[in-house]
Structure 1
Amino acid sequence: MITEATIADIPSLNQLINSAYRGESSKKGWTTEANILEGKRTTEAELIEIIQDQKNTILKYSENNEIIGCVLLVEKEDELYLGMLTVSPELQNSGIGKKLMQQAEIYASDLGLSKIVMTVISVREELISWYKRKGFVDTGAREPFPVSDVFSQTTNEPLEFMVLKKSIL
Structure 2
Amino acid sequence: METAVSRTEEPVFRAATAADVPGLVALVESAYRGDASRAGWTTEADLLDGQRTDPDGVLAVVAGENSRLLVTERDGELVACCQLEHRDDHAYFGMFAVRPALQGGGLGKVVMAEAERFAREEWGAREMHMTVIRQRDDLIAWYERRGYRRTGRMTPFPYGDERFGLPLRDDLEFELLIKDLA
Q: Report if TM-score (shorter chain) is over 0.5.
A: yes
CA RMSD of aligned residues (A): 0.9
Deviation at 1:155, TM superposition (A): 2.3
**Which ranges in structure 1 are unaligned for 5 or more consecutive residues?**
none
Q: Among 34, 41, 57, which residue is 1:46 paired with? A: 57
Q: Among 155, 172, 177, which residue is 1:143 paired with? A: 155
Deviations 1:47-72 (A, max 9, x none): 11111111110111101221110000
The alignment status of 1:109 with 2:120, answered yes or no, reads yes
CA distance in 1, matches of 2:83, 2:166: 22
Counterpart for residue 119 of structure 1? 131
Deviation at 1:109, TM superposition (A): 1.2
Q: For residue 41 of structure 2, give the secondary structure of its aligned residue in structure 1.
A: coil
CA distance in 2, matches of 1:32, 1:92: 11
Matches within 5 A, 1:74-93: 74-93=85-104
CA distance in 2, matches of 1:155, 1:165: 26
User: How many equivalent pairs are there?
Assistant: 168
Contact map agreement 2:51 2:162 (CA 8 A) in 1:
no
Deviation at 1:108, TM superposition (A): 1.4
Deviations 1:1-41 (A, max 9, x none): 11111111001000000010000000011000000000110
Taking structure 1 as the reference length, what is the TM-score of the superposition? 0.96
Deviation at 1:142, TM superposition (A): 0.7
Counterpart for residue 173 of structure 2? 160
Q: Which amino acid letter does the alignment assign opposite residue 122 of structure 1?
A: R
Structure 1 segments (4+ residues) deviating >2 Å = none
**Which ranges in structure 2 are unaligned for 5 or more consecutive residues?**
1-11
Q: Which amino acid letter does the alignment assign opposite residue 117 of structure 1?
A: H
